[in-house]
């Protein structure tokens, strides 16, 4: 026999092992994983997928509204940044937003600045991205 068979059953099965010589193939047992470990693995994957999905929704639900309410952005800039965010390019969208705010010397409320910092951390962007905006925060709020 010149080929190996793969058999997936709940009971041990003998499958010939291919040996490229003049000797006869040796049988070897193949065991499928138990249902319990299989279910546990599926549950772990499902849990990880849900955590990622929740994270994605959280970022999109925070970043897109932030882009819409930040002052000093043109409609075209907002459209471009929103498009990036929708296509999971959160870091680029966030960096572009911070760069534009810094370039225009936009005055930010303390609340808006704190939200920018929170969303930046959520997106996994380096703090230096928003540090240039620290001096643009209104005093006394």
Per-residue pLDDT at 4: 52
Asked if the model's pLDDT at residue 122 lies above 50, the reply is: yes
- Angle, vertex CA 8, rays to CA 6 and CA 14, nearest 5: 60
Asked if the model's pLDDT at residue 46 lies above 70, the reply is: no
Q: Give residue 123's pLDDT band: very low, low, confident or very high (50, 70, 90).
A: confident
Cα distances (Å, whole numbers) of residue 14 to 2, 41, 99:
16, 26, 65
| Tokens describing residue 62 | 């925070």
Per-residue model confidence as pLDDT tens digits over 1-37: 445 555 454 555 554 545 445 566 655 555 544 444 4
């Amino acid at each position: 026999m010149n080929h190996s068979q793969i058999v997936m059953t709940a009971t041990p099965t003998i499958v010939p092992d291919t040996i490229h010589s003049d000797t006869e193939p040796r049988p070897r047992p193949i065991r499928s994983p138990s249902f319990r470990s299989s279910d546990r693995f599926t549950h772990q994957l499902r849990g990880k997928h849900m955590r990622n999905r929740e994270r994605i929704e959280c970022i999109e639900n925070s970043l897109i509204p932030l882009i819409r309410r930040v002052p000093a952005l043109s409609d075209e800039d907002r459209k471009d940044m929103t498009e990036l965010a929708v296509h999971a390019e959160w870091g680029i969208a966030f960096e572009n937003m911070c760069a534009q705010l810094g370039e225009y010397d936009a005055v930010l409320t303390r609340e808006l600045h704190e939200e920018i910092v929170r969303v930046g951390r959520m997106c996994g962007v380096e703090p230096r991205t928003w540090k240039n905006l620290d001096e643009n925060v209104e005093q006394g709020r």
